[in-house]
Chains A and B, each alone.
Chain A
């Protein structure tokens, strides 16, 4: 079933795009990550121009996170105050990201930098997650509860102007989450990822937010930042392909619902181990292209 994509300017098997969206949707349902880190590279492998892939993947992540945010807010899983601070940073980050995108395009290194970012981020997070889940699987039941760790990172504690975030159970400076929001916003713009896979560990281990609001607040941030990213792409690169995004959404919103059901019945450590394997595979493929044989020796950009 071939579908013509009016912005990407080519025909592609529509069923494959729906399946691809479905796979990332299942991931997002299980793990609370948007799945953009998988969509963008897979779209590029399928022949979609990189800018169109990143822009349309951002649109897809919006759809995949909506139902998550609704579900989380019903069970009080969203800290709106914290969310607002992070989103404010994220919006600034998205604009900064657009500027960096143009700068790197002018230098001609945009594809190299994006690949490097993928390798670094996915490699680090995949390794961390894999190690942690293996430790969790090997841990004996009796030493399950370890001594309480420090609440948040010392740098966060040192920042001035503290606010009370009741739902997160924190009394910290808003500058920490604000800067985190900026960083994730930049990444969203550059890589077409929602940033959930960075946001969740950062909220847990750097800010020390209470675990039951982490996923909801992260999804809340993803929702707003990807909406903003879609708008910025629509206005600057004009690379949002609604047909492509629509097909991806069709798969991902369905997949997300299936994923949520899988998450309820499976062991979280095993799920996390699988996710880390997927993440590391994507990182390895990109690493190969960066160090061994690039996927293309020549790249063409219209002037």
Chain B
């Protein structure tokens, strides 16, 4: 348990720094790894987000708090289309543009969100898939917006890119917390931000964030780069590969 050892070290160094910071508790978050390499054989990665909540004087913060952990991937603008039946055929009808949709959104909390905060607080901190702020463009019809958003969330949930686990954080001894969030294999590369919130009496009492970088490595990075930067040579290579394999198989089977 390497992460536990590193946590102990952080905890040991803490009281001195903590006493200078006033009344609010301090959150010390850590992630099991700050770099995720996407390469051949990558099938996803489970991240452990862990840490401790302490009072400024270094004692434990008590049993009456909850933890919410959110891991968020780089945002991207998208267009979402809805199918409607037109003369018996399902065709794409209405569309909506959203300027900032997180490519990954994983939430874990120690209790159901609606039990620990009220709706407005949840909306401010984007606690959960129901409260995502996706920055729609153009005129917005609230009913349509709600429909499209739930459609998007459903799609992304199915592909594992949006997750919400309201029993996903375990708290031990009123100090240590631990959450697991799994990145599926279809994550996009980029900078991921892990935010941790401590909530008591419906109020966020401490927040802290750390970063995780997801990047392609080795052969897969080269392929992705070449496909974009040397498109022509890449295309020729693909053609040559298929010609060669077709020809070689013919020769090989001629011997059998």
Find out whether the CB atom of B91 lies under 8 angstroms from the CB atom of A301: no
Find out whether the CB atom of A109 lies under 8 angstroms from the CB atom of B91: yes
* Interface: A60 (CB within 8 A): yes
Enumerate chain A residues within 8 angstroms of B3, measured Cβ to Cβ.
none
- A125 to chain B minimum Cβ distance, whole angstroms, is 21
Enumerate chain A residues within 8 angstroms of B227, measured Cβ to Cβ.
6-7, 234, 238, 240
A209-227 contacts to B (CB < 8 Å): 227
Are A66 and B234 also in contact (CB < 8 A) when A294-B83, A299-B80 are? no
Find out whether the CB atom of B185 lies under 8 angstroms from the CB atom of A249: no
* Interface: B242 (CB within 8 A): yes
- A201 to chain B minimum Cβ distance, whole angstroms, is 24
Enumerate chain A residues within 8 angstroms of B43, measured Cβ to Cβ.
2, 4, 11
A-facing mask of B59-92, CB < 8 A → 1, else 0?
0000000000000000011111111000011111
- B238 to chain A minimum Cβ distance, whole angstroms, is 5
Segment at the interface with B among A145-153, A187-195, A253-261: A253-261
Give the residue of A4, A64, A246, A296 whose beta carbon is less than 8 angstroms from that of B246: A64
- Most B Cβ at <10 Å: residue of A6, A111, A227, A231: A6
Nearest CB in chain B to that of A240: its residue: B238
Give the residue of B41, B91, B151, B216 whose beta carbon is less than 8 angstroms from that of A2: B41
* Interface: A291 (CB within 8 A): yes
Summarize A's interface: helix, strand, loop or mixed.
helix
Find out whether the CB atom of B250 lies under 8 angstroms from the CB atom of A298: no
Are A7 and B223 also in contact (CB < 8 A) when A63-B243, A67-B247 are? yes
Are A70 and B247 also in contact (CB < 8 A) when A242-B223, A300-B152 are? yes
CA distance A80 to B151 in the complex (A): 52
> Size range of the interface on B?
35 or more
B210-256 contacts to A (CB < 8 Å): 216, 219-221, 223-224, 227-228, 231-232, 234-239, 241-243, 245-250, 253
Are A66 and B236 also in contact (CB < 8 A) when A11-B44, A291-B89 are? no
* Interface: B125 (CB within 8 A): no
- B159 to chain A minimum Cβ distance, whole angstroms, is 8
CA distance A291 to B155 in the complex (A): 21
CA distance A63 to B216 in the complex (A): 28
Find out whether the CB atom of A235 lies under 8 angstroms from the CB atom of B232: yes
Find out whether the CB atom of A6 lies under 8 angstroms from the CB atom of B242: no
Find out whether the CB atom of B245 lies under 8 angstroms from the CB atom of A298: no
Enumerate chain B residues within 8 angstroms of A128, measured Cβ to Cβ.
none
B-facing mask of A60-86, CB < 8 A → 1, else 0?
101111110011000000000000000
* Interface: A100 (CB within 8 A): no
Given contacts A234-B238, A249-B246, 16 further A-B contacts (CB under 8 A): A2-B185, A4-B185, A6-B216, A47-B159, A62-B243, A65-B246, A66-B242, A67-B249, A108-B81, A109-B92, A111-B92, A112-B91, A291-B88, A291-B90, A298-B151, A300-B78
In the A-B complex, the 9 residue pairs with the closest CB atoms: A234-B235, A66-B246, A67-B250, A253-B249, A11-B185, A298-B151, A63-B242, A63-B246, A10-B186
Q: Would you list 11 pairs from A and B whose C-beta atoms are within 8 A, ordered by A residue?
A: A11-B44, A70-B247, A116-B89, A230-B238, A230-B239, A231-B236, A242-B234, A245-B241, A297-B83, A303-B76, A303-B97
